[in-house]
Amino acid sequence: MPKTKKLNKTKKGKKRSRTNKTQKGGNLVEANLDGAAVDGAILEETNLDGSAIDNESQISVIEADPNDESTIGELSIDDSFDTPIVPQTPSGLMNSFDTPIVLQTSHGLMDSVDHDDEHELWNRMETVHRETEQERSARLKRERNEKKQRYLQRTETTLTMNNTNPFEKVGLSGYHVFEMEDVNFCDYITKNQDNVIFIYDQQVGVFDKPTIKNLITNETLDETKIVYECNEISEAFVPYEENIISGPMLNMRILAINGLMIPLNELDAAINGEHQIFVIETENDKNKIPIASLPTRLAMGDDESGREVVSADHCQTEVSIKVGKLSYIENRVLFDQCSTIGRGKPKKTRRKKKKTKRSRKNKKNK
């Protein structure tokens, strides 16, 4: 085993000990090296108040047996500090798991970091990308469009036939909202195969299929006229997903039929089929229900949600509206009703005879 001893005196041919000695030109008083020592130890609460060790000073670390081949020789101060401690960069974090990582901090101090903290350290050193206003606007627009497509999805359905004759109650003529004139139902249905009639109780609407299609197509519809039934009243600006209990529906007020909303999938079946006359019925006796409009469900962020709920339905109260269900009627039901009242027969008119006045002269001659 190697033998070690401290050199407390300065003699010829021997090294001077570093311990408790004042070096030439140096005076270390209350020294503090705030960082890592040469051997990796951390020195705290000290101040460096003196000059550094001069180049002539030497220190003997180990005195070894000259006969032992495994002896570690003597090191001078100059030799021991030949290799500087190089601050590690993120690319140099992948090191041996037995060696601590030494990094240069912003204060110029040396910190020792365990490999367990490598991931956290790397995250702190990554550049944080802050979203610009333009990027945020583009992202919100993209997310809103994705939500809109999802909220307008509906399953395909088919309509059933209605065996009643509603024309016995509503008559054979009605007011065309868009044309702003009265029309005869018999003439209106035979004039164009795209012309349709919607009958709800005593309300009658006459439209054409292209107009309805424009109101329910995702790219052209009026978002404010698309509504959903809510399960219960809620004050949330943006309606909760779990509070929506129906698919998308069209508020029929846009077609001059008040207090009614029709599922979009039933309107899809109406405009894609061959039938032209439809009856609307309601399945429950509730006169008021809470509803939510599409814009309130699509609101992105506090600012937009605040604007959308100013005058829009968002499950906050009950409104006077019902969910309707469509069924179709064969055209012959209308045509039979038309023939009953003499449809197509020419009107009889009497020609009035002109009366001629006799002159007084003619009367005297008689």
Domains contained in the chain, number: 1
The answer as to whether 30 is a domain residue is: no
The answer as to whether 23 is a domain residue is: no
d(C-alpha 60, C-alpha 11), whole Å: 13
Judge whether residue 336 has pLDDT over 70: yes
Burial of 212 (C-beta count, 10 Å sphere; 0-12/13-18/19+) = buried
The answer as to whether 19 is a domain residue is: no
The answer as to whether 168 is a domain residue is: yes
Q: Taking every pair of C-alpha atoms in the chain, what is the biggest distance, in angstroms? A: 185
The answer as to whether 359 is a domain residue is: no
How do residues 2-14 score in pLDDT, each as one tens digit? 444 444 444 444 4
How do residues 224-282 score in pLDDT, each as one tens digit? 999 999 999 998 889 999 999 999 999 999 999 999 999 999 999 999 999 999 999 99
The answer as to whether 351 is a domain residue is: no
- Confidence bin at 357 (pLDDT 50/70/90): low
What percentage of the chain carries pLDDT values higher than 90?
A: 46
Whole-prediction pTM value?
A: 0.59
The answer as to whether 109 is a domain residue is: no
Structural domain containing residue 285:
137-340
How do residues 32-69 score in pLDDT, each as one tens digit? 444 444 444 444 444 444 444 444 444 444 455 555 55
Q: Which residues pair with 324 in a beta bridge?
A: 282
The answer as to whether 264 is a domain residue is: yes
